[in-house]
Structure formats: C-alpha cells, structure tokens
Amino acid sequence: MSILNPREKSLVCKLVYDGPGLGGKTTSLRSIHTLLDPAQATRPVLLNTEDARTLFFDFVPFDLGAPCGHRVRIQGFTAPGQVRYNLTRRCLLMGADGAVFVADASRDRLEENRAALVSLRTNLRANHLDPAHFPLVLQYNKRDASDALTREELEAALNPEGLPSFTSSALRGEGVFDAFAAVVQRMLNVAAKKHALVVDEPLGDVAARWLSRLAAPRS
C-alpha cells in the first residue's frame, strides 16, 4: 500500500505489470526506465531464467520528482507471466496500488490474455483489493506483429468494463509510456485521497501532465 511520510514529505506507491507470459512486461518496464532515467542512475533488478523469462520479478524504482511539494516514488515491478508462477504473481500484488495488464495482441494469444486477466482479478481479490475500484489499465502490446488483433477486437474481447486502454509496441518504445502515465494518474489520485493529502490540484493529474511533457519530444 502507498506510504506517505509527512515529515519527509514523500509518497511511495507500488505498481505491478501483469499479463501473460512473453507479452512484453519486462520490455515495457525497461522502456519506461530508459525514458525516465536516461543516464541509468538506477539499475533495474531483473531476476530471470537463462532464456530471459522473468523468474520472480523485475524491479525498477522511479522518481517522479516533487509535484505539489511531495516527492513521489513509484516502485515498478513486473510479474512472471508463465502460468505455473501464479503464486508469485499473487504475492507480488500484495499491497499494490495500481497495475498495468500487458496483453499480447498476437492473434493466437487471445485465450491466454483472457485467462491471465481473470487470474489477475482473482489475485487482486485474494489480496483484499477490489478489482472494480483498483487503478488498472490495459496495454495491448505487440501491435507491430503482422497478425496483431485490431484495437476493436481486443476491446471487445478483454475490456467490456471500459477500462483505460492503450495499444503499444514495447519493442519500439511506442505507447508504453501513455499506459504508464494513465495508471500513475489514477494511482496517485487514489493514494492522495486515501492519505488526505491536500493539494491545489489532484496529485495524479499534476504527475501525468509532467510525464506527458517528458514524453513529448519523443513523439
């Protein structure tokens, strides 16, 4: 759960990238890290198998500066996508403040996406987090794949709830940051409300604006 330290004026939130195996969670987190920390002052922690599949988790801390006078840090995690690591995914969601579901837009992965999304919601509930009110955004990755489903097909199959959704190619660094900014906005607004953090403008809105300015020169 988000931690507010009033003496240090800092807020720390936990963000988890979840989704089916090989969908592009690790690639997405690395792409955000490259944009937010081009000098690579912080090093991602990647706990992989030999063939670069996530084994436990990846971890990258993001420092979003001090919007509204409070230093905001995001602890970014990716879960291992392989079906057999469900218990690890469940544990990683403990105390999460937001999540990005990275779907694989490849046509033959639709059922795995569906199952992974159901599993994410089950794991949220197991952690006493209500999926209906939890800051969650969908990222339809691998839109560059030749057999990629269209945005409309993915929306119809995965998003009847109308959650915020974004198409992306993590490999090309496209769309990933938009999904990140959207989840950060929701997550920080919820956290600020929970901690009764009084600021002129919703904290998440200020952070999202700062993030979009940061991304602007690249688009």
Ligand X SMILES: Nc1nc2c(ncn2[C@@H]2O[C@H](COP(=O)(O)OP(=O)(O)OP(=O)(O)O)[C@@H](O)[C@H]2O)c(=O)[nH]1
Contact positions vs Mg ion (CB under 5 A): 25-26, 54
CA dihedral 102, 107, 108, 109 (to 10 degrees): 10
What is d(CA 149, CA 147) in angstroms, rounded to the nearest whole number? 6
C-alpha 104 chain-centroid distance: 15
CB of 212 to ligand X, least distance (A): 21
CB of 132 to Mg ion, least distance (A): 27
Stretch that binds ligand X, among 23-31, 63-71, 118-126, 199-207 (CB under 6 A): 23-31
In terms of C-beta density within 10 A (0-12 exposed, 13-18 middle, 19 or more buried), how is residue 64 classed? Answer: buried
What is the residue type of 47? L
- Any contact of residue 173 with ligand X (CB under 6 A)? no
- Of residues 123 through 152, those in contact with ligand X by CB under 6 A are 141-142, 144-145
What is d(CA 82, CA 71) in angstroms, rounded to the nearest whole number? 35
Taking phi over 0 as left and psi of -120 to 50 as alpha, with beta for the rest, 65 belongs to left
Structure tokens at 170: 């993590």
- Any contact of residue 171 with ligand X (CB under 6 A)? yes
Nearer to Mg ion, 25 or 89 (CB): 25
In the list 11, 16, 18, 26, the residue contacting ligand X (rule: CB under 6 A) is 26
Nearer to ligand X, 21 or 98 (CB): 21
- Any contact of residue 169 with ligand X (CB under 6 A)? yes
Q: Are 199 and 165 in contact (CB under 8 A)?
A: no
In the list 13, 23, 93, 101, the residue contacting ligand X (rule: CB under 6 A) is 23
Q: Show the binding pattern over residues 81-120: x = contacts ligand X (CB under 6 A), - = does not.
A: xx--------------------------------------
CB of 130 to Mg ion, least distance (A): 26
- Any contact of residue 175 with ligand X (CB under 6 A)? no
In terms of C-beta density within 10 A (0-12 exposed, 13-18 middle, 19 or more buried), how is residue 77 classed? Answer: buried
In eight-state DSSP terms, residue 23 is S
User: Could you tell which of Mg ion, ligand X, none binds residue 24, using a CB distance below 5 to 8 A set by kind?
Assistant: ligand X
Contact residues for ligand X, defined by CB under 6 A: 21-27, 52-54, 78, 80-82, 141-142, 144-145, 169-171
